[in-house]
Structure 1
Amino acid sequence: MSAEVKQSPSLVLASASAIRRTILLNAGIVFDVCPSRVDEGSLKEDNKSLNANEMSALLAKEKALQVSSHDDRLILGADQILEFQNRQYDKAGTLKEAKVRLQTLSGKTHDLVGAMVLAQKGSVVWKHQSRAHMHMRSLSETAIDAYLRRAGTGILASVGCYEIEGLGITLFNRIEGDHFSILGLSILPLLAELRRREIASP
């Protein structure tokens, strides 16, 4: 009796993001993970003139294409940029930087600009962009310090220094936009495309 050959998943996530993995898993998608090796810092430095929409789209595309260069399956690249007063922000490196970030955003509205790209065999075959408006309530220094103590270093994985699926939700008065795009992956349009490709359940 011949051994059963295990078929590899048709989709590969080009990201190490835990929340993106969770979103896909909760949606019942079978996939592999192969984080891209794109140098985001250099890419941003070389493309300073791009706006947030263009930058997030470029980063998602380059991540997908980098993995696609050595894997013929369907590759999902994703990126998210925080835009505030026409400036783009990277993730904070320390809790001290996170405090400054939250003080900057306190009482104001910023945008989370997301992009997803599907690539196969070196070509982009699908793309999607999203924008969410995040209305942060006015936060005292005491409130920010208390939040950072409770939330811990996990928030450094979020460009806004908050995890909206956890304590981060307490920082906001109002949110306009798709919940999943805020988390980092617009799952509904992605599912529609994966169903069209018979990768997701009909």
Structure 2
Amino acid sequence: MSLILASQSGSRKAMLEAAGVPFEAVPAAIDERALEAQLGGATAAQTALELARAKALAVSTQRPGRLVLGSDSLVSVAGRRFDKPQGREDAADHLRFFSGQVMELYSAAALARDGAVLWDHGALARLKLRELSDRFITAYLGHEWPAVSGCVGVFRIEARGVQLFESIEGDHFTVLGMPLLAVLGALREHGELAA
């Protein structure tokens, strides 16, 4: 019986595949923006964790007995939370705002079975962006759009997105969108992977 990943995220799928974790991807049908609105003044870290939990729970109720992994990432820059860009011009606006600042990227994961959360974990990475010129932003989006359209923070660190940053503090997998080492430990604890 394999794990269910409650996501269609290419990055999360690639991480699990590379780590040799068998899984089936089943996207969670939840309204993320509505859940965020219900959480009101929750921090980005709390919101990412609640979204990961909600995704895992939503799919676990549909697949009895199966272990379900939910995950989410949120970005905060200068106290302002950012979601995935709504279009290419929105992505350019995000990058202009991010220029020269520190991005806090919160990645969270949760495991659920039969409508109950069994485990959850959140992690933080801090990414210092260099000063980005409009010329660079235009060229960058010319290469990376639409691949980054579904990426909070408008970057793929494993691609040209690495050019946005001066320095990165935090776990590489957290930057990719899921605290993978913690997830693997939890999967071993729950018998999904050999110890």
Q: Distance in 2 between matches of 1:127 and 1:40?
A: 18
Aligned residues: 194
What is the 5 A alignment of 1:73-92?
Answer: 73-92=66-85
Counterpart for residue 36 of structure 2: 44
Give CA-to-partner distance per residue, 1:86-121, whole Å, 9 cap, x none: 221111011111111000000110100111000111
Give CA-to-partner distance per residue, 1:104-160, whole Å, 9 cap, x none: 000110100111000111111111100000100001111111111111211111110
CA-atom RMSD in angstroms: 1.0
**2:182 is aligned with 1:181:** no
Q: Percentage identity across aligned positions?
A: 36
Q: Distance in 2 between matches of 1:139 and 1:89?
A: 18
Counterpart for residue 63 of structure 1: 55
Counterpart for residue 26 of structure 2: 34
Q: Amino acid of the residue matched to residue 71 of structure 1?
A: R
**2:125 is aligned with 1:129:** no
Q: 1:158 aligns with which of 141, 151, 163?
A: 151
Q: Distance in 2 between matches of 1:130 and 1:88?
A: 16
The answer to whether the Cα contact below 8 Å between 2:112 and 2:119 also exists between their aligned partners in 1 is yes
Q: Distance in 1 between matches of 2:32 and 2:189?
A: 31
Give CA-to-partner distance per residue, 1:28-72, whole Å, 9 cap, x none: 001111110011111112222111111111111111111111112
**2:87 is aligned with 1:94:** yes
Question: Which stretch shifts more, 184-193 or 165-174?
Answer: 184-193
What is the 5 A alignment of 1:129-148?
Answer: 129-148=122-141
Q: Distance in 2 between matches of 1:18 and 1:114?
A: 15
3-state SS of 1:157 partner: coil
Q: Distance in 1 between matches of 2:60 and 2:185?
A: 21
Unaligned runs of 5+ in 1: 1-7
3-state SS of 2:24 partner: strand
Of structures 1 and 2, the larger Rg is shown by: 1
3-state SS of 2:69 partner: strand
Question: Which stretch shifts more, 177-186 or 46-55?
Answer: 46-55
Counterpart for residue 3 of structure 1: none
Q: Distance in 2 between matches of 1:164 and 1:65?
A: 29
Deviation above 3 Å: which 4+ runs of structure 1? none
Counterpart for residue 23 of structure 1: 15
Counterpart for residue 194 of structure 1: 187
Q: Amino acid of the residue matched to residue 159 of structure 2?
A: G
